[in-house]
A and B are shown apart, each in its own frame.
Chain A
Amino acid sequence: MLLNASGCLDALTAPETARALDAFVTKTVTPLPRAGNAPIRIVETEAGMLNSIGLANPGRERFLADVLPRLRELGVPIWVSVGGFAAGDYAETCEALDGIAAIELNLSCPNVDAASESAAEIVAACRTATDLPLVAKLSPAAWDVAEHARAVAAEGADGLSLVNTIRGLALDETTLAPRLGTAVGGLSGPALKPIALAAVHACARAVDLPIVGMGGVRTGRDALELLACGASAVALGTVLFSDPEAPVRMRAELAHELAARGLGRPEDVVGIAHEDRLRHRKPLDLARKALV
């Protein structure tokens, strides 16, 4: 199963790219509109890129009234990424959502202040507010991401998205001043891949939830590795910026990688990087029934 990473695709400006995915994940929606951070917001680094977009979005009301109806017309299952600055923010947005495939809780944006509540408390608040599948997006910056995975699983999360970007900084080569307007931003791209693999590997052992793996996926081989670590689905992020046709290419490359290794379907390789093979992995299904 192939998705986009939240904030890495606008289905309304690139509908063909969105239709090539199994589900489209929106940019994070917050209760109030956010202009986002001051420029410069994008910087390429040696093995990745930094962004400090800062959750620019039209806010919950305009998203529900203007954006979501147009997204529904695309004919692609929609996951709405929900963000906020308190557990109540998240829960209110979850309560207002229906007719979508899933909610991804952005618990880990490196570009804005985090809510005072823990990820588990936010998941608990959202669990009471909606019956939609809740996928918790966690940061790889935690010392023990598996502990956070256990905590959100205990509060009723239906899946995990691993990983968000991780905080980084780049300096101008001449002035040695930070290149991003906010100085620090979220690191994505190839530099993130080993970090994502480690997080997926750890969380797959810790919890029995389906995992959407993401972080530095550029090729079918990268997708295969995330599946092998225990992801049931893969999301594309930075690669979409350079190649809007990446979803089509990725499927072809993954099929080629599987065939070249004499492996079967993508779901057959989930968890095979583990010595005990994690055969019990649940598939990621868009219907909540299949998740619980």
Chain B
Amino acid sequence: MRRERLRVVGVEAVGPYTLLRVGRGGLDPGAPGQFFMLEAPGRLLPRPMSLCLAPPGELGFLVDPIGPGTRALCALGPGEELAVLGPLGNGFRLDVQRPLLVGGGIGVAPFPYLSEVLRRPPALLGFRTPAHAEAAALVANAEVVLEPEYVTQRLEPGRDVLACGPEPMLEAVRALAPAAQLAWEAPMACGYGACYGCAVELGGTWKRLCVEGPVLRAA
């Protein structure tokens, strides 16, 4: 865990999302599924973002502008600086035989990096609208599913599922693929175990997603 001020090198619209690219500085990109805390300009608390892309010398984050913090991040321009802390948490285990990436909405964020590391496995990505589905272009071998259809309707058995998306999607995936690796999300203030804000009840015990997750085994 390391915190540095990094410079924005690119801000690109991907459908309704924004791909924020920053110079990497001395930060390690970590493993796919790990995340970083990004200073949101003008806001008190940083925002957790999983790493989307790790091109040489850069870190890329896919941001959905849903609140004041994420809107401030999307409003950054090239040359501006922000403090970035990471990499944090536990990423996906990569020792999988027949990987299938299953994502929903902004949950596709960690998949471009994960897909590269796993050598472009098939991906099943669900979105609310065709505009949101533009994010699928960031992921190799992606099959897009649009509402009202759900990714779980196309889930084939015998796959090592790595999933990230809204909670109802993760719960549905867990029911169909008990061994799936699921990347969860919760509001958190710190990202490094200090605030206990991100605790979720899983399997009868409470876990801080930031230190024991965000990727957890389903079973």
The answer to whether residues A241 and B206 also contact, given A189-B44, A190-B44 and a CB cut-off of 8 A, is no
Q: Which residues of B contact A (CB under 8 A)?
A: 1, 3, 37, 39, 43-46, 68-69, 83, 85, 186-190, 192-201, 206, 211
Q: List 18 A-B contacts (CB under 8 A).
A: A39-B187, A39-B199, A41-B196, A42-B198, A44-B43, A47-B44, A49-B189, A53-B196, A53-B199, A189-B44, A241-B46, A241-B190, A242-B45, A242-B46, A242-B83, A244-B3, A244-B85, A245-B3
A40-B187, A42-B195 known; 16 other A-B pairs, CB under 8 Å? A9-B194, A10-B193, A13-B192, A14-B194, A35-B206, A36-B206, A41-B197, A42-B188, A44-B45, A44-B68, A51-B197, A238-B189, A242-B37, A242-B190, A244-B85, A244-B192
Residue interface mask A38-68, B partner, CB < 8 A = 1: 0111111001110101001000000000000
> For window 1-56 of chain A, which residues contact chain B by CB distance below 8 Å?
7-10, 12-14, 27, 35-36, 39-44, 47-49, 51, 53, 56
The answer for the CA separation of A9 and B188 in the assembled complex, in Å, is 13
Contacts of A36 in B (CB 8 A): 196, 199, 206
The answer for the CA separation of A8 and B46 in the assembled complex, in Å, is 15
Q: Are A42 and B197 in contact (CB under 8 A)?
A: yes
Contacts of A35 in B (CB 8 A): 199, 201, 206
Interface centre among B69, B193, B195 (most CB of A within 10 A): B195
Does A98 interact with chain B (Cβ within 8 Å)? no
Which of B3, B188, B189, B211 is in CB contact (< 8 Å) with A13?
A: B211
Q: Are A39 and B44 in contact (CB under 8 A)?
A: no
Q: Are A43 and B187 in contact (CB under 8 A)?
A: yes
Does A243 interact with chain B (Cβ within 8 Å)? yes
Does A240 interact with chain B (Cβ within 8 Å)? yes
Q: From residue B196, how far is it (CB to closest CB) to chain A in Å?
A: 5
Q: From residue A192, how far is it (CB to closest CB) to chain B in Å?
A: 11
Q: How large is the interface on A (under 10, 10 to 19, 20 to 34, 35 or more residues)?
A: 20 to 34
Q: From residue B139, how far is it (CB to closest CB) to chain A in Å?
A: 29
Q: From residue A196, how far is it (CB to closest CB) to chain B in Å?
A: 16
Q: Are A8 and B187 in contact (CB under 8 A)?
A: no
Closest to A12 in B: B193
Q: From residue A230, how far is it (CB to closest CB) to chain B in Å?
A: 26
Q: Are B193 and A13 in contact (CB under 8 A)?
A: yes
Q: Are B199 and A41 in contact (CB under 8 A)?
A: yes
Q: Are A240 and B206 in contact (CB under 8 A)?
A: no
Contacts of B193 in A (CB 8 A): 10, 12-14
Q: Are B195 and A8 in contact (CB under 8 A)?
A: yes
**In the complex, number of A-B residue pairs with CB atoms less than 8 Å apart:** 92
Closest to B187 in A: A42
Contacts of B68 in A (CB 8 A): 44
The answer for the CA separation of A244 and B198 in the assembled complex, in Å, is 17
The answer for the CA separation of A35 and B43 in the assembled complex, in Å, is 29
The answer to whether residues A53 and B197 also contact, given A35-B206, A44-B45, A242-B45 and a CB cut-off of 8 A, is yes
Q: Are A56 and B196 in contact (CB under 8 A)?
A: yes
Q: Are B3 and A243 in contact (CB under 8 A)?
A: yes
Q: Are A13 and B194 in contact (CB under 8 A)?
A: yes
The answer for the CA separation of A36 and B39 in the assembled complex, in Å, is 27
Q: Are A42 and B189 in contact (CB under 8 A)?
A: yes
Closest to B204 in A: A35
Q: Are A7 and B3 in contact (CB under 8 A)?
A: no
Q: Are B190 and A240 in contact (CB under 8 A)?
A: yes
Contacts of B186 in A (CB 8 A): 39-40
Which of A47, A238, A243 is in CB contact (< 8 Å) with B83?
A: A243
The 3 closest A-B pairs by CB, nearest first: A13-B193, A42-B197, A241-B190
The answer for the CA separation of A41 and B200 in the assembled complex, in Å, is 10
The answer for the CA separation of A13 and B188 in the assembled complex, in Å, is 15
Closest to A51 in B: B197
Contacts of B3 in A (CB 8 A): 243-245
The answer for the CA separation of A101 and B44 in the assembled complex, in Å, is 32
The answer to whether residues A238 and B194 also contact, given A39-B199, A56-B199 and a CB cut-off of 8 A, is no
The answer to whether residues A27 and B1 also contact, given A35-B206, A56-B206, A238-B44 and a CB cut-off of 8 A, is no
The answer for the CA separation of A244 and B191 in the assembled complex, in Å, is 10
Q: From residue A77, how far is it (CB to closest CB) to chain B in Å?
A: 19
The answer for the CA separation of A121 and B199 in the assembled complex, in Å, is 33
Contacts of A245 in B (CB 8 A): 3
